[in-house]
Structure formats: C-alpha cells, structure tokens
Structure 1
C-alpha cells in the first residue's frame, strides 16, 4: 500500500514550483494573510463532516486524529491540545475527558457557525497565551439588514457505509436594529467498514443547537448574546479502551461593542463567556471491553470554564493598535470507579483530575504599522500570569491520594504552580509589487502545562502502568521564525512557507518502569508548507497543497511523537452554470520517525493515495443537490497520527482505519 506515494508527492512539489513562473494576476491583499487558511462552513461539499475537527482536515497544514466517528483532535505543525488556541465564537471551551475523547471542536454545532480559520504558527498575541502551533477560530458573521428579513438554510444528508443521517437548520430574522438567529442539528451514525471490510467502532447519536441575538442599543453601542447546547449519546471509540454513553456541553457568550467619540481608543469591545462540559466513559455499557472480568471501569469528569476579555482599538499615526486584558478560569474534576457489572455497585478507584483549577490573566498590545507603500510591520507583546492548583491532591480516593503518586514518581507532594510568561510577535511584510510579497515573522510563545500533564493521577490496573502528571513541569517556551513568499502570475496564486521552532522545556510524555510520566526536554520543530490555486480555463481550476513537519527531542536524541508525514493533495474542479464537479487526490508519504518511548505512537505507517469525487447541481436558485464518493478505490488506510488508549487494561496506542468506500448525498435549501 502506498509504494508510489513519495513520487506523487514529489510531483506535487514540482507543480508548485513550475507554476511559479507562469501565473494570473490576483491581488494578494484579497487573499488570506500569510500562514492563514479559511473555509466557509456551509459551502463545503468535499466530504461528510461529523464534527469541526474533521472539517479541519480540508485545510492545508492541518490534520486531526481519528478515534471513531467523533472526537477528532486537531494537529497543526505537529502540535495539538493546548499547544493550539481553539476559540468558539470568541470564547474557550475545554475537554472534559482526561484522555481527550472530546476535544473542544467536538462540542460545536456547525450549523451555527459561518467560517473556520486556521492561523498556522504564532502570528498574533490577541487570542490568548500559548498557541505555539496555531490558532483555530470558529466564527459567526454578524448579519446586516436594511429592512425586515427572514432567511435560512435547511440541510439534510445521508452517507452510506456508516449509515450517517444528518439534518440541520439555520434561520435568522432581523431588521435594521438587530437580529435573532436560531440553529440546530441532528446526526446519527452507525459503525463503518474500512477498505478491507472490517467494522470500525464509530457510531454515535448527537444533537445540538442554540440561539444568537444581537441588538443596536444606541447608534454607538451593539450588544450580542448567544447560547449553545450539545447532547451526545452512545459514542463508540475504536481508538480508545472505553466508550462514552453520554457527553453534554452548555456554553454562553456575551459581547458589547462601543464606539467612542473621544480619547485614545476609537472603540472598545467586551467579551464574556462560559461553558460547562460533562463526560462519562466506561468499558462495559456499550461494549464489554473487559469480558473476562466481573469488574468494569467508569470515569465521570467535568470541565467548567469562565472567562472574558476587554479590547480597545485605536489608530495612531500609521499604526492600527489593539490592546486588552483577558482572563481564563478552568476547573476540571475526574473520578474513576470500579463497577461490579453484576450488582452495579461502585467502588472509588482514582481522582484522575483532583479538582484542578487553572487561572490565567493576560495583558497584551499589538500594532500593525504601514511603514510605507511597500513595507508593513506587526509588533505584539503579552504577559500572562498563571496559577494552577490541584485542590484535592491530598484527598484519599480509593486506596491512595494523588499526592502519593506524585511523591512516588517525582519525589514531590506539590499541588500548585505559579508562572509569569512573556510572549511576543514581530513580523515584517515587504510587497515587491501588487502580485508578490515576502513575510518574515519571529515570535515567542509560552504555553503552560495542562491539567493532565501537571496533575493527572491514575494508578495502573492489572499490571499496566500508572499515569501520573508532574506538578513541577516548567512551561514550554517556543521561539519561532517563519518565512513566507506569496506570488500571483498568469496561472494562479501560490505561496510557500518555511518555519523553524526552537522549544525550550518542551513537555514530553515518556514511559518508565511501570509508569507514564512527563518531563521537560529541549526540542526542535521545522518544516514547510506550500499552496497553489490555478484557474486553468474558465471552467477548470487546479489546486494543490503540501505540508511537511519534522520534530526532534534533542535532549534524548529521538523523534517527537505524533508528527504527521509529508502529505498533500491535488484537486481538479470543474464548474459551468449550475453544475460543479471535482476530483481530489489525497496523498501521504510513509512515516518512520516515531517515538517508541512516549506510548503515543502506534508504530510506523505506510504511505497512501486516496481518490475522492464530488459534484453538485444548483437545481433552483434556492435548492442545491450534491453527492460524492469518498475513498473511490476502497483502500484500507489510516492517518499516521493516532490517539493513545484510555484502557487501563491495555494502554497501547491504537491507530484507527479510515472509512472504506462511501457514497454520500446532500440537499441544501436556502430562503
């Protein structure tokens, strides 16, 4: 499988270079900023999408792990989890599962969002501390009406193989003073078969919805409030030793924007947000993952988040300035129980998250300055004060306390940590002419250890290793440089980026004598990204992208775990009148650079090339019908990145095969 993939990827790179000499004139100012990709949520017809993490796989330079049909963990430049800043409508929502069954993108009702933007690398300080790998923004666009209006979108689809049925509605009513938007979606999916006909546990039932209301309070004041809830049941995870009988999320957002007539700032914006997530996982309700034993395992966990930020916008000379302060408070608790499968009796086993509270307060300022007609400069600085505490670390739960595990493996009983972290960005952009520009960006970002890395306390079962966080971890310090070239000529627009990231105190997971532990090491991450969009004729368009990342643990002289191989895609699309069709060739090279000591990599992987087809017909100005075939040749393949098992009886990492051939159809009605 995949023996021709390296050649195919080389051809992709050759195409990117060949088109550099002959390209169509397109003003680069209308295109995404360097290092940024954006995708309209509602317009994509390239593949069935089960959550926002899966949607990110369509963007260049981004990928995501697969655990089943839900729970796709985004990865950018070999970095994931809280190495990425993920904001839903301006606010944070954090996973409630210690094993990341439910990354924040899982609890997103896609029908209620308009765009997803991926900023690769650290290019701004305004979205929070950390974010060394990048920033993911799931955003809503504020509608504007000149007269009373009712508009909406109704969508329904079906995907074979997995028997996925999904329906959504997004309806907005408004006038010149404000609007009310209601949205909701329902999806039900069964287990799918891979290319070899093997059944992959991936079914789930999900429903979500919410409302957004905005109103012009005065000529200079705008207010907006939103509520969103997601309810999921019977979620099967092939990539974990447990499944999830239920997972719930409730979130709210409040925004106030005020234009000012005097003073330094021209306008201000206040954003407040909150989210409550509850998650249950076990190894016996949906499938008996321990059929030989009478005792099963169950974990109840919660993650509650509140926060906000105050922003001020100003113009000073040739600079546009954004300054502000933000605050984040996240509380997590996870209790693991042994359950008698005959009597149903529960027995306390472990405080996996011992009432962990993490608070972060940041102040920041960023300026975009036009130096002259050809050169611009971005400078940004932020300071974050971080406090982390495991408030139940000394509480006995089962036979021991979390502090006992910290003492056993690290020689400490610490239950708190305080940090002051400094981040900065400096980027210079030079426009050679209206069709070409060069960007050189430098940044420093600091990300603190998350609740799991610092305070997880899970004693091993049946001879398998303990899983214990390190209370004395230092924060990661990322020092990055990006060089990006963008150009347009006769056949289209292309860009290429080379990046290098030196990481001091990289938080490293490793295995040692019966335990999964964490320490700090020095690491390096580097790679390249390339993109091309070329209109060949009025009807035909060629697009291509390529991404490669290499990660190295310099302290221990081995590869970093969970680094995707050289990968890319070629797509050819045709459109005329009401008809549209396309073919996409998804490619990946083999990956032999793995970290066998981390417990994260499930081994080496072969390369692959997979073909997808899609098409649509605008049957009526209000009605679009679309269809496609994923994995046309029914190949058996899996992405290299995978999820670590949450099975205390078998902690080996598992790689989940992608679906075999599946045909899908979708209808979208707009009014």
Structure 2
C-alpha cells in the first residue's frame, strides 16, 4: 500500500545538444545511455554502484510498481513522483501525467500537448509552476499550453494544492496550484550519479530520459534531458488519427551548498518540438523554449527568521503554427492559403518569501512576487516567410503581489492555517492585438484576420487610455482548520476567496476584444471565486480511505460563446460543486486493490443551464501485485456518459460539442526488477482495442477529413516497453 504514496525521487538527466534537427537530441541521448549501460556492466559489484539521494529521501531504489492511481498526501494536497512509470503509457507532457490524479482531465486534440483541467476549471485558474516559476505559452488559442513545455520525468516531485487554499504561489489560483520542482541534491565528496529510462511502444513511440549529477558536499552540476516522439496513432477501429509529435528539453543547473543552511543555484534550459493535431486547423511546427533562473535558499538566519527564499527567472516561449509543414494543405481546412504565424511570450519574474517562527506554536510566511509578460506576433505565408517580418507587440501583462500565510497550532492535533494576498494587475493592448480569436484554426472555426492585421505592424507604440486595464488591490485569502490524529486519520475544512484578473486569452484573444466588436478588453470584470473545501482520511494496518469535497460560487465567471468563426467572451454567474474519493486495501502480502472516483458539477446561473467543459463522473479500479522482483497490475478506467453540456459554449481552447457516451478501458502491466539498478516494465493499454473519445475534446478538422463536430478518438490497443536504470 505504501507504494501509492509517491515520494520524491531525484533522478537526474543529461541534456542533448541544442537542436539542429529534432533527431539530434535523440541520438545523443541514446549514445549516453549505451555508454552508461556499458559502465554499469563493468562494475565489479552492482551493490557498490552509487545510489541517487536528496536530503528528503536519503535512500533511493527503483520503485517496484507502476502508478495507476495517486492518493492524497495531506489535507488538500497531493504529492507524486513524476519519475515513476505510470499507466496508461508514461506521459509525454505535464497534462498527460496530471490525468493520473483524481479530479484531473484534459482537453484533447491529438497525441500530445493537451490542456489540463481540474474540477472543470483550467487556464490561469490553475497555475502550473516549475521550480516556483511561471512559464506561459504564446498561442492565442493555447496550442502551446504551459504544460506542453514540461517534461514530468525531469522533475523530482509534483505537488497539487486543491482549491483556493494557498496564497504563496502567485495570483488567481481559484482551482488550485500545480508545482513541478527539482529538489536540492545531497552529495558526499566526488560523487557522480546517473539515472536514465528508455521507452518504446506502438505508433513508433520512443522516449529517452537522462539525469546526471556530479559534485561534492559544496558544489554540484546537474544536467537533465529528455526526448519524446510518436507517429500518428490508430483508434480502436484502426482509423489513423493525426497526432504525431517530436520534442526535446534540456536543462543544466550549477549549485553551491557550502553548508546545510545555504543553497544557491543558477539554471538554464532550452527545448523545442513539433506536433500535429486532428482537432486544429494548424499544427505546431515549433515549440521553442528558453529559460534562465537564479534561486537562493537560506535557513536558520536567526531565532525568529528561519528561512529565506529568493529567486529570479526568465522564460521565453517562441511558437510557430502553420497549415502546410506537417500536413498537406487543404483549403477546406478553414483557411484559403498556406499560412504561418509566429508568436512569442517572454515572462520575467521574481519571488521573495521569508518564514518566521513567531512563537512556540505560530509560524508565518511573508513575501512578495512580481511578473511581467509581453506578447509579440508576426505572420506570413508559405511563399513569404514570417521570418522576414518585424515583430509586433500586441499585448503586455504584469502583476505584483504581497502575501502572508500563517499556521497556528492549537494543540497536539489541531491547527488553523490562514492566508491573505493583495495583487496589482495591469494589462496593455496594442493596435495589432485586435481580432486575434481562433488564429490557430481550432476546429473549423479559426480565422486569419488577426494574423493578417499583425503582419508588418510596429505594435510597440504606446497603448491609448482605452487600451490599458489596471486593478490596484485585488484581495485573496483563506482560512482552514485541520486535525491530524495520532492514529493517522485527518480532517479539514476551509473557506477561500480568490479574485482573478482576466488573462491574455480572455482579454486579447476573443473576437469581441476589439472596440467595434464589443470591447471585451475594457468590459470584462475580474472573476471572483468563493469556495468551501472539506475532507478527511483514515488509515488502518492494511487499508487507506480518503475523500475531499467542495462547493463554490463564482461571480463574473469568464465564459466563451462560439458562433461560426467567432469566439466571444462575457461574464456570467456560476456555481460549482464536486468530490474526489479513493482508497486501497491490502488483500494479501503481495496484492493490493485500489479505487478512486471524481465528480464535478457546475451551473451557469445567468443562462440557467450547465457550465460548459465539465468532465463526467470518472472511476478507476486497480490491482497491484508485488512479490520479490516481480510486479504486475491492472487498471480499469470507467467514465460515465455526460449529459450536462452547454452547446456552443466553452473556453478559449474548446467548446461543448453535445453529450458524450460513457466507456470503460482496461490496461495491464508487468515488470521485473533485475537488480537495484535495472528494472524492465511492459504494458498494454486499452487491452480490447475499444473505440472511444473523451468528453473534453476539440472538434475534428476538415483538413484531415473529419466532420467539424466530431470528437477526436483516443488510441486503440497500445503496447509499450520501458527500462529504468540507476547508477
């Protein structure tokens, strides 16, 4: 049963060289893995091989099970190890991995780069942070969602905070906060540690991951890299679904740890890729990422000041969309000619947080954070490349926040946690930013008017008074009671409130952003969410049970209305509710049964109908077997039909396409742990080759011969084989 509580396991990976073509990182990773395998084979005693460790996990060995469900770690918090192999087939991006957690789903459009949804909410309602930093995509229809730039296996720990129950990780987190973090390594003198994984599967799926750590107690260098690719998959009926992807990421960090209380790290990274989509009128021919970061952590500065955290970061997403490089151009795809758009978003930010011991039973975190994010665009055709066009500034966003969060222990079992946050948000819209809605040709609705308006414009002129928005003091806060009993059971109840400033995709992307179309930029009001969260967990000698539930009211919910090629946004009043529950039971020393379930409900009170883009009831039943070096498991995913929908309404990515059918999918896996350094795992997803589609889905694109209202089917029977190495 303990295998389901995933602990941080800091595997480290070696980066591929900068991209000349996408194949080059794959070759470099394969060579490094072969070299590391040879080195391990020459080791006289495998037991003497170095084992990876961090301060929070001093002993690391290969886990013996494949993750089929992730259970709660503490009140309102889920902690998982993203390096752990999971079923279905191990993830290619952050959204793919998050679907393992009850309550998460994703808006699907093909094989990779889905957009994660938690409890029916997505986008800036659910900030996704990497090492505490904000990385934002550039596409006006979120083809390059933040999760598409994240390779889960290159991080040590994944943390999810449910609902508006924290204020220390940025603004607008009404649905929750997702954090992918790399932890501080702990090294002795002159150590070199390596871990890697190789994976292959149906549809030419191929993944390589390498982590390398070298250093001593005072200095270290950490390199991480991954490459992932797949060709188009086939659904359960054997029909090919446009879903090819090929992408890579590489990061390097140099750290200084002169003592147990000091950690200074400088990091840099790059990535790129391509992906094509059966549910969009354009494909992503470039997902270029450039990242830099500097962070400092200092502990035990004084009796009162117990911790100081400070960081600076820079991220640039340079994204290209076109309708000709990854597909044959078809005029019926919603566009009259081969076209391309190049968009980029540069995000710079800082965060300083201090932890104070105010008394024997009182702790507090005080801090400040800030972020600035300009957005630039340019476009072209197959004959006249965008590369020769000047960049046009179409929008800029900024946010500065102050936060305070305190914990008061009321005794050996009870405590109160409370937080308050104030944010100052600003947005600028420049003339080239008007009418950009649907510029990636989502479904058959995407238009190119915004791209044509952007071409060749000098969008860096100052915005007029009507093109600037500011809210100087938006409050957010929460209060939560927790009880942790000695027998391992916990209870919690909390209430939280968040005011969220409209984001780029709501203020600038919609068709009615322009003044002559309704001026959504100036008319939209910030979204205000008030939510109650409750839950509990219980443990026994061989069983675990947990549950969490919520009910909320949202004033001025930001809703998209679709009509033909237009996507207009407005404020409505809404209510939300739902629950997640799960448990496991050890049937015998080697066999454990587990189950999870999640349900979300939401209503548009203004229109008197369901809120769109809410996933249906979903349950997962699993068996996990582990005996000696052998392991095996089964996962039965059951999804109910969804009859609550709002036709023609949705978000900037997708809209409700009508009711959806329920389905059940069975997946199996088995593994063998050869020794402490090497494990092999094989799996079969969708064993019976069922044809099915997720409720949250983009409409098919006529450029691939799909009807405009057709959902994209998921893969049919999928086989995969994976090897994990640690040295």
- TM bin, normalised by shorter chain, reads 0.7 to 0.9
Displacement of 1:210 in angstroms is 1.1
The 3-state SS of whatever aligns with 2:134 is: coil
Asked if 1:436 corresponds to 2:479, the answer is no
What root-mean-square deviation, in Å, do the aligned CA atoms of Structure 1 and Structure 2 show?
A: 3.0
Match of 2:314 among 271, 274, 278: 274
The 3-state SS of whatever aligns with 1:453 is: helix
Aligned to 2:92: 50
Unaligned runs of 5+ in 1: 1-29, 403-411, 461-465
For 1:153 and 1:654, locate their aligned partners in 2 and report how far apart those are by CA, in whole Å. 42
Aligned to 2:369: 326
Displacement of 1:424 in angstroms is 0.3
Q: How does 1:63-82 map to 2 (within 5 A)?
A: 63-82=105-124
Q: How does 1:268-667 map to 2 (within 5 A)?
A: 268-291=308-331, 295-317=337-359, 318-337=361-380, 339=381, 343-344=383-384, 355-392=394-431, 414-419=466-471, 420-431=473-484, 433-456=486-509, 469-511=520-562, 515-598=566-649, 600-643=655-698, 655-667=711-723
The 3-state SS of whatever aligns with 1:470 is: helix
Displacement of 1:643 in angstroms is 3.4
The 3-state SS of whatever aligns with 1:171 is: strand
Aligned residue pairs total: 623
For 1:438 and 1:480, locate their aligned partners in 2 and report how far apart those are by CA, in whole Å. 17
Displacement of 1:295 in angstroms is 1.8
The 3-state SS of whatever aligns with 2:246 is: strand
Question: What is the TM-score when the length of structure 2 is the normalising length?
Answer: 0.81
Aligned in 2, Cα 1:73/1:468: closer, same or farther, shift over 3 Å? farther
Q: Deviations over 1:420-453 (max 9, x none)?
A: 2100011001345523222001000111111121
Displacement of 1:38 in angstroms is 2.2
Contact (CA 8 Å) 1:171, 1:181: kept in 2 or not?
Answer: yes
For 1:167 and 1:347, locate their aligned partners in 2 and report how far apart those are by CA, in whole Å. 32
Question: What is the TM-score when the length of structure 1 is the normalising length?
Answer: 0.87
Aligned to 1:13: none
Aligned to 1:255: 295
Aligned to 1:168: 209
| Worse-superposed segment, 512-521 or 241-250 | 512-521
Displacement of 1:157 in angstroms is 1.0
Aligned in 2, Cα 1:197/1:41: closer, same or farther, shift over 3 Å? same
Contact (CA 8 Å) 1:468, 1:516: kept in 2 or not?
Answer: no
For 2:183 and 2:342, locate their aligned partners in 1 and report how far apart those are by CA, in whole Å. 36
Contact (CA 8 Å) 1:67, 1:239: kept in 2 or not?
Answer: yes
For 2:678 and 2:626, locate their aligned partners in 1 and report how far apart those are by CA, in whole Å. 17
For 2:635 and 2:288, locate their aligned partners in 1 and report how far apart those are by CA, in whole Å. 35
Displacement of 1:648 in angstroms is 11
For 1:399 and 1:572, locate their aligned partners in 2 and report how far apart those are by CA, in whole Å. 55
Q: Deviations over 1:316-371 (max 9, x none)?
A: 1211211100001111123444x3x5x547799999x9521110000001011111
For 1:154 and 1:666, locate their aligned partners in 2 and report how far apart those are by CA, in whole Å. 11
The 3-state SS of whatever aligns with 1:449 is: coil
For 1:355 and 1:31, locate their aligned partners in 2 and report how far apart those are by CA, in whole Å. 42
Displacement of 1:489 in angstroms is 2.9
Q: Deviations over 1:118-147 (max 9, x none)?
A: 222121110011111111111112111233
Aligned in 2, Cα 1:127/1:311: closer, same or farther, shift over 3 Å? same
Displacement of 1:553 in angstroms is 0.6
Displacement of 1:159 in angstroms is 0.8
